[in-house]
């Protein structure tokens, strides 16, 4: 329901008990990203390690979740085992609306369960069940059994779960959300694993009155029309994000073979069109989003000499294809899906896993590692090898893979080869667009290409004006932070302008927030950085590996001096932001 206070469920999984907490701060932090940062400021232990039992694992939604189209994502925040700093990851699926209809703005999980367990919450339910029998089970099989463990609301719930990678507390471990979406980045799966939580089920079945009058429904209809009947979202609806593969290859910005090159004629066999023509089985949507950008491909396996087949469904997007395809030199669409499925089952972030295996392949070619480390020889384009390597990586079957699963730079620190590790804070996103992107992702809040508009700036600007570029990043960030506080899909940036968001907030009763979006946006941006700084963030913690200085894009060879200046200036600006904000006082808890 529309309430100005945040309604939070804090569950201690060491006891299985929860507590409903009401907190203020709506007009300052809005929800989502801002709320998550505020909650970490309240419940987090900045000075303790990421896997301290008392560290919170936070899931937050925004004031518009469920009320408008595409307000369908959830923020997950935690102290990351990747860099031991505060971070966020975002996912769609059913999770956001499930939490909305559980009448919660956020779920905060603290403690460590005594046994591997599943947590189920609902409007009238809080249950922690022993799930020891799920130990080691992959994300797909776990989902099937969790559905059976909790019978109520079948077919209408959200189920988040981890695979072996999360149980093994790998820094590359993701949280699978409703089979086809993920809290992929920064090791959220490991945090669940550290809490001994295999799965989280959210069964939201309550309802709220809509605002009186016709204005709300009219505005909903207007926005629904924009996202379904205009060209604004067609890119995501049609080929989906893989439409970018050919375009980025054309401008020499698509990483190939561990970023040894940025374009390749082989793109012809691995474009968005090829995936759609050959593998696309069907489309899916996050709950509350009529765009339906989820593209689910299939591959089939022959299981006997006779014509006996079984088939598999795998969601694909631009960046998983980059990670399991071009980065590994794999150019068969079905092979890409096979590798992605292996990562999916293990519960690995596909981007990190793909980039890590690309590094391992080059390290093999350079003689730094051999089959005794990788179990089997790795070579660019060898899809069968990557299929097995992905499983080894996710399960940590050897000391080498256990180490690699903690991050490519950690493996490189032991075996050498950090200069060609494609790590920009975390294993890179699939945009080799140039200096600003490389610098911005290195320092980005969650090391996502969507942290900033740098990848887009690189594609449109060839000048080398450091201040103009960094001013662009700084000016652009508050709007993104506000939209991820709503928590809207960032694909909908063109629809949800500041004016549109103000109208949406006002019509459902958040008039105070509607009238203070610029101030709230700036406050949220700064608060997030400050919370991260409290956990140890400093620009000096992150460097740009040598490989990124050797890249050639449509603008020509990367200018190393320009890139260094961008990173230095962006870092300086972030430190300025960190130094000029006070942590939001959410007031006393009302219980």
Partner 1 sequence: MIADTSLPNKPEAPKMKQLTTPRLDQCIGCQSCALACARLVYKKLSWHTAGIRIHSAGGLSTGFVANRCLACDPAPCAEACPTGAFSSRRGGGVIVKADLCIRCGKCLAACPVEGICRDTLGNVYVCLHCGRCVDFCPQNCLEMVAVAGDAEGAA
Span interacting with partner 1, options 104-112, 142-150, 486-494, 497-505, rule CB under 8 A: 142-150
Which residue number, 295 or 447, has a Cβ lying nearer to partner 1? 295
Q: Applying CB under 8 A, does 509 fall inside the site for partner 1?
A: no
| Residue 591 CB neighbours (<10 A) | 7
The residue within the footprint of partner 1, chosen from 156, 235, 261, 464 (CB under 8 A), is 156
Q: Applying CB under 8 A, does 220 fall inside the site for partner 1?
A: yes
User: Which residues 6+ apart lie within 8 Å of 218 measured at CB?
Assistant: none
User: Which residues 6+ apart lie within 8 Å of 60 measured at CB?
Assistant: 31, 32, 33, 35, 36, 39, 74, 75, 77, 105, 106, 107, 487
Q: Applying CB under 8 A, does 479 fall inside the site for partner 1?
A: no
At residue 129's C-alpha, the angle toward residues 123 and 133, to 5°, is 140
Q: Which residue(s) pair with 107 in the sheet?
A: 9, 59
Q: Applying CB under 8 A, does 291 fall inside the site for partner 1?
A: yes
Shortest separation between residue 511's beta carbon and partner 1, angstroms: 18
Q: Which two tokens stand for residue 588?
A: 């006393």
Shortest separation between residue 394's beta carbon and partner 1, angstroms: 20
| Residue 207 CB neighbours (<10 A) | 10
Which residue number, 267 or 286, has a Cβ lying nearer to partner 1? 286
Q: Applying CB under 8 A, does 130 fall inside the site for partner 1?
A: no
Rounded Cα–Cα distance for residues 329 and 322 (Å): 9
Q: Applying CB under 8 A, does 3 fall inside the site for partner 1?
A: no
Q: Applying CB under 8 A, does 487 fall inside the site for partner 1?
A: no
Q: Applying CB under 8 A, does 284 fall inside the site for partner 1?
A: yes
Q: How far is CA 548 from CA 192, 253, 422, 521, in A?
A: 33, 12, 8, 32
Q: Convert residues 77-116 into a mask of x (bound to partner 1 by CB under 8 A) and - (unbound).
A: --------------------x--xx---------------
Rounded Cα–Cα distance for residues 112 and 93 (Å): 26
The residue within the footprint of partner 1, chosen from 17, 130, 135, 217 (CB under 8 A), is 217
Q: Applying CB under 8 A, does 405 fall inside the site for partner 1?
A: no
Q: What is the DSSP track for 527-538?
A: HHHHHHHHTT--
Which residue number, 139 or 409, has a Cβ lying nearer to partner 1? 139
Shortest separation between residue 118's beta carbon and partner 1, angstroms: 16
547, 422 contact by CB (below 8 A): yes
The residue within the footprint of partner 1, chosen from 19, 114, 124, 303 (CB under 8 A), is 124
Q: Applying CB under 8 A, does 154 fall inside the site for partner 1?
A: yes
Q: Applying CB under 8 A, does 208 fall inside the site for partner 1?
A: yes
What is the enclosing helix (H) or strand (E) of 454? helix 454-460
Q: Applying CB under 8 A, does 268 fall inside the site for partner 1?
A: no
Q: Applying CB under 8 A, does 373 fall inside the site for partner 1?
A: no
**Angle 517-534/498-507 helices, nearest 10 degrees?**
100
Q: Applying CB under 8 A, does 294 fall inside the site for partner 1?
A: yes
Shortest separation between residue 291's beta carbon and partner 1, angstroms: 8
Find, among 13, 51, 11, 4, the residue nearest to 31 by Cα. Answer: 4
Which residue number, 292 or 536, has a Cβ lying nearer to partner 1? 292
75, 36 contact by CB (below 8 A): yes
Rounded Cα–Cα distance for residues 400 and 369 (Å): 9
Over the range 119-141, which residues count as b (16 or more CB within 10 Å of their CB) and which as e?
A: bbbbeeeeebbebeebeebbbbe
351, 429 contact by CB (below 8 A): yes
Cα Rg of the chain, angstroms: 23
Q: Applying CB under 8 A, does 238 fall inside the site for partner 1?
A: no
Rounded Cα–Cα distance for residues 465 and 329 (Å): 34
Which residue number, 143 or 325, has a Cβ lying nearer to partner 1? 143
Q: Applying CB under 8 A, does 313 fall inside the site for partner 1?
A: yes
Span interacting with partner 1, options 7-15, 256-264, 285-293, 534-542, rule CB under 8 A: 285-293
Q: Which two tokens stand for residue 272?
A: 């968005």
| Residue 433 CB neighbours (<10 A) | 26
Shortest separation between residue 1's beta carbon and partner 1, angstroms: 8
Q: Applying CB under 8 A, does 144 fall inside the site for partner 1?
A: yes
Span interacting with partner 1, options 20-28, 176-184, 239-247, 404-412, rule CB under 8 A: 176-184
Place of tokens 């719930």: 157
Q: Applying CB under 8 A, does 207 fall inside the site for partner 1?
A: yes
Shortest separation between residue 222's beta carbon and partner 1, angstroms: 13
The residue within the footprint of partner 1, chosen from 283, 461, 500, 516 (CB under 8 A), is 283
State the maximum Cα–Cα separation within the chain, in Å, rounded to a whole number: 71
Q: Convert residues 42-81 into a mask of x (bound to partner 1 by CB under 8 A) and - (unbound).
A: ------------------------xx-x------------
Q: Applying CB under 8 A, does 172 fall inside the site for partner 1?
A: no
Q: Applying CB under 8 A, does 131 fall inside the site for partner 1?
A: no
The residue within the footprint of partner 1, chosen from 4, 84, 228, 332 (CB under 8 A), is 228
Which residue number, 234 or 572, has a Cβ lying nearer to partner 1? 234
- Report helix, strand or coil for 481: helix
Kind of pairing between the strands at 17-23 and 6-12: antiparallel
The residue within the footprint of partner 1, chosen from 173, 286, 357, 369 (CB under 8 A), is 286
Span interacting with partner 1, options 209-217, 359-367, 393-401, 443-451, rule CB under 8 A: 209-217
- Number of residues that make up the chain: 591
Shortest separation between residue 351's beta carbon and partner 1, angstroms: 22
Q: Applying CB under 8 A, does 290 fall inside the site for partner 1?
A: yes
- Which stretches does DSSP call E strand in 80-133? 86-91, 106-110, 117-122, 125-130
Where do contacts with partner 1 occur on this chain (CB under 8 A)? Answer: 66-67, 69, 97, 100-101, 123-124, 143-144, 147, 154-156, 178-180, 205-210, 216-217, 220, 224, 228, 282-292, 294, 313
């Amino acid at each position: 329901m529309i309430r100005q206070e945040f309604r939070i469920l804090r569950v201690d999984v060491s006891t299985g008990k929860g507590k409903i907490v009401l907190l203020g701060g709506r007009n300052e932090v809005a929800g989502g990203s801002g709320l998550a940062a505020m909650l970490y400021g309240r419940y987090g232990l900045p000075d303790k390690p990421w896997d301290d039992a008392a560290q919170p694992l936070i899931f937050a939604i925004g004031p518009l979740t469920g009320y408008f189209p595409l307000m369908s994502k959830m923020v997950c925040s935690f102290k990351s085992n990747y860099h031991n700093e505060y971070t966020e990851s975002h996912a769609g699926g059913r999770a956001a609306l499930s939490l909305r209809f559980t009448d919660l703005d956020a779920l905060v999980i603290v403690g460590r369960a005594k046994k591997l367990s599943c947590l189920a919450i609902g409007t009238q339910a809080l249950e922690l069940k022993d799930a020891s029998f799920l130990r080691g089970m992959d994300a797909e099989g776990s989902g099937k059994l969790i559905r059976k463990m909790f019978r109520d609301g079948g077919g209408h719930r959200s189920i988040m779960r981890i695979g072996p990678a999360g149980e093994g507390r790998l820094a590359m471990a993701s949280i699978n959300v409703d089979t086809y979406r993920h809290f992929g980045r920064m090791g959220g799966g490991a945090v669940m694993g550290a809490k001994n939580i295999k799965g989280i089920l959210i069964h939201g079945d309550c309802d709220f009155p809509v605002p009186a009058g016709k204005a709300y429904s009219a505005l909903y209809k207007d926005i629904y029309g924009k996202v379904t009947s205009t060209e604004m979202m067609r890119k995501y609806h049609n080929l989906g994000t893989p439409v970018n593969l050919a375009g980025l290859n054309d401008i020499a910005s698509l990483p190939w073979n561990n970023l040894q090159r940025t374009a390749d004629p082989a793109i012809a066999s691995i474009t968005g069109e090829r995936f759609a023509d050959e593998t696309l089985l069907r489309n899916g949507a996050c709950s509350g989003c009529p765009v339906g950008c989820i593209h689910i491909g299939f591959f089939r396996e022959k299981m006997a000499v006779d014509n006996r087949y079984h088939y598999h469904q795998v969601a694909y997007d631009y960046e998983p294809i980059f990670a399991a395809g071009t980065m590994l030199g794999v150019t068969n669409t079905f092979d890409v899906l096979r590798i992605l499925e292996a990562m999916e089952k293990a519960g690995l972030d596909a981007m990190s896993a793909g980039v890590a295996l690309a590094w391992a392949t080059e390290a093999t070619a350079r003689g730094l590692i051999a089959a005794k480390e990788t179990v089997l020889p790795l070579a660019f384009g060898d899809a069968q090898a990557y299929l097995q390597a992905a499983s080894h990586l996710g399960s940590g079957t050897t000391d080498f893979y256990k180490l690699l699963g903690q991050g490519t730079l950690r493996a490189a620190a032991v075996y050498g080869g950090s200069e060609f590790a494609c790590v920009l804070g975390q294993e890179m996103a699939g945009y080799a667009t140039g200096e600003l992107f490389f610098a911005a992702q290195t320092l980005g809040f969650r090391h996502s290409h969507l942290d900033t508009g740098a990848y887009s700036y690189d594609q449109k600007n060839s000048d080398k004006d450091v201040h103009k570029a960094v001013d662009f990043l700084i000016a652009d960030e508050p709007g993104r932070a506000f939209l991820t506080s709503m928590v809207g899909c960032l694909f909908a940036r063109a629809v949800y302008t500041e004016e549109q968001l103000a109208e949406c907030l006002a019509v459902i009763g958040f008039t105070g927030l509607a009238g203070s979006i610029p101030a709230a946006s700036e406050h949220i941006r700064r608060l997030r950085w400050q919370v991260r700084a409290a956990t140890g963030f400093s620009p000096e913690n992150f460097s740009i590996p040598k490989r990124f200085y050797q890249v050639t894009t449509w603008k020509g060879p990367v200018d190393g001096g320009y890139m260094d200046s961008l990173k230095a200036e962006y870092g300086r600006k972030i430190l300025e932001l960190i130094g000029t904000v006070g942590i939001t006082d959410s007031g006393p808890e009302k219980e």
